[in-house]
Amino acid sequence: MLRLQTPLPERYRIASDGDLADMIGQAKAALGSRLFILGHHYQRDEVMQWADARGDSFGLSRLAAGQTEAEFIVFCGVHFMAESADVLTGDHQRVLLPDLNAGCSMADMANIDQVTEAWDEMADVVDTSGVVPITYMNSSAALKAFVGRHGGAVCTSSNARAVLTWALGEGRGDQVLFFPDQHLGRNTGYELGYGADDMRVWNPRLALGGLTDVEVKESTLLLWKGHCSVHQRFRPEHIAAFRAEHPDGIVMVHPECAHEVVELADLVGSTDNLIRGVAAAPPGAVIGIATEIHLVKRLGDETPDKTVVCLDPLVCPCSTMSRIDGPHLAWVLEGLVEGDVRNQISVDAETAEWARVALERMLAIT
Ligand code: 13P
């Protein structure tokens, strides 16, 4: 169901940064241990400073699953992460997303109708009992439930290798339908030793994904035609320009980047892994990073003994991943103090049951 973000009352819109910090700080203190704020690494500093715990999308799902006490989990991230937190937390807990516009365009590139149709079309060509569906965390709860029902699992950028190895393991599957990010699927496939002929792109707009029967039968990995608009912007030319300027520089990229970018990098990893990579680099290092700009900027600010730059000089910020701002956080927290639960993210019981199966498989594999 589509829910629209209601415009904020004027007092939040006109508040200064200092006023907002006071509102958030006071609400947080009043709520005490009833509240737990989770922050994804892409959040702005003005929001991240209030997080009780930070993480990549895998770490945050683990934190949500382990947070059994707090009555309210305020998720400073995006919609699919908040849905996963709702699925993994108890019935006595409520998950709130401060701004309902915080979404992910890649997650919207695959919906349940398209995936069900693709599965049915595949069933005309191959025995789908040998196909394991794997969904990237960046997907709706309905897709996670589909995967749970059909013997598959969720993966994130930090565990895609382990999850694909599991999916193609002895006695489980011969083929994987991977959605919605073709790049993470392809990069992981190459990492596992598969070649270009083992992986084909499934275009949901075309009959049988735009493939022939033989191509579907012979592919080990069928990669959904989806992508992240921010990570897809990074090109090999950016890396070449960075290396020309900094011959000893270190290149770190997120696996949502295209394969021709990933193969030129010194380190490929999730947001958490990129943070660890920067921490491990020697003092004085110059590091070029391909991921969302708020994280790159924070890494630069927090490691003054190293130079951290974005590999794309034009820097295209993700308008939805870092959507949550001080006014929305203050609005949601003050609502909780007043007993008004705003922007609760709630997955219906049947979807949640199967989405939990898929998420828990991921947690068990990793
Ligand atoms: P991480 O799992 O690396 O935090 O990635 C989340 C994401 O949405 C990347 O665009």
Whether 9 shows a pLDDT value over 80: the answer reads: yes
Element (H, E) at 106: none
Pair 207, 130 in one domain: yes
Of 7-11, 136-140, 155-159, 320-324, the range with the lowest mean pLDDT is 320-324
Whether 44 shows a pLDDT value over 80: the answer reads: yes
Pair 128, 216 in one domain: yes
**Nearest-angstrom CA–CA distance, 357 and 40:** 23
Nearest to 308 by CA among 251, 263, 260: 251
The pLDDT-based confidence of 1 (bands split at 50, 70, 90) is low
Domain that holds residue 182: 107-228
Whether 209 shows a pLDDT value over 90: the answer reads: yes
Has residue 326 been placed in a domain?
yes
Nearest-atom number in ligand 1 for the CA of 318 is 10
Res 131: pLDDT: 98
Ligand 1 pocket test: which of 48, 57, 319 has the largest number of ligand atoms within 8 Å of its C-beta?
57
Pair 141, 191 in one domain: yes
Q: pLDDT for 309-365, tens place per residue?
A: 999 988 767 888 889 999 999 999 999 999 999 999 999 999 999 999 999 999 999
Question: Mean pLDDT throughout 177-199?
Answer: 98
Res 315: pLDDT: 76
Q: pLDDT for 61-93, tens place per residue?
A: 999 999 999 999 999 999 999 999 999 999 999
The pTM (predicted TM-score) of the whole model is 0.96
| Boundary-marking domain end, from 228, 247, 269 | 228
Question: Mean pLDDT throughout 171-186?
Answer: 97
Which residue's alpha carbon is nearest to atom 8 within ligand 1?
A: 138
Which residues, including other chains, have CB under 8 Å from residue 302's CB and lie 6 or more apart?
A: none
Pair 217, 120 in one domain: yes
Nearest to 142 by CA among 101, 162, 114, 164: 114
**Nearest-angstrom CA–CA distance, 313 and 238:** 8
Has residue 164 been placed in a domain?
yes
Has residue 74 been placed in a domain?
yes
**What CATH number is attached to the domain comprising 33?**
3.40.50.10800
**Nearest-angstrom CA–CA distance, 334 and 365:** 39
Alpha helices in the chain (DSSP H): 10-13, 17-31, 45-48, 57-66, 79-88, 112-123, 141-149, 160-167, 182-191, 213-218, 236-245, 259-262, 271-280, 293-302, 326-337, 349-365
Has residue 357 been placed in a domain?
no
| Boundary-marking domain end, from 181, 207, 228 | 228
Pair 129, 222 in one domain: yes
**Nearest-angstrom CA–CA distance, 97 and 221:** 34
**Nearest-angstrom CA–CA distance, 335 and 125:** 53
Pair 235, 223 in one domain: no
Has residue 270 been placed in a domain?
yes
Res 335: pLDDT: 98
Has residue 363 been placed in a domain?
no
Ligand 1 pocket test: which of 156, 182, 274, 319 has the largest number of ligand atoms within 8 Å of its C-beta?
156
Q: How far is the CA of 147 from the centre of ligand 1 (A)?
A: 20
Nearest to 274 by CA among 255, 261, 259: 255
Pair 80, 22 in one domain: yes
Q: How far is the CA of 161 from the centre of ligand 1 (A)?
A: 15
Ligand 1 pocket test: which of 38, 40, 106 has the largest number of ligand atoms within 8 Å of its C-beta?
40
**Contact residues of ligand 1, CB 6 A cut-off:** 41, 56-58, 138, 156-158, 228, 256, 270-271
Pair 266, 295 in one domain: yes
Pair 169, 272 in one domain: no
Which residue's alpha carbon is nearest to atom 3 within ligand 1?
A: 270
| Boundary-marking domain end, from 177, 196, 228 | 228
Has residue 93 been placed in a domain?
yes
Q: How far is the CA of 121 from the centre of ligand 1 (A)?
A: 30
Pair 237, 129 in one domain: no
Q: Lay out the sheet containing 267-268: strands in order across.
A: 267-268, 250-253, 286-290, 307-310
Res 314: pLDDT: 83
Residue-averaged pLDDT of the chain? 97
For residue 268, the SS3 value is strand
Structure tokens at 84: 């996963």
Percentage of the chain exceeding pLDDT 70 = 99
Has residue 141 been placed in a domain?
yes
Nearest-atom number in ligand 1 for the CA of 269 is 3
Pair 25, 81 in one domain: yes
Pair 222, 334 in one domain: no
Domain count, the chain: 3
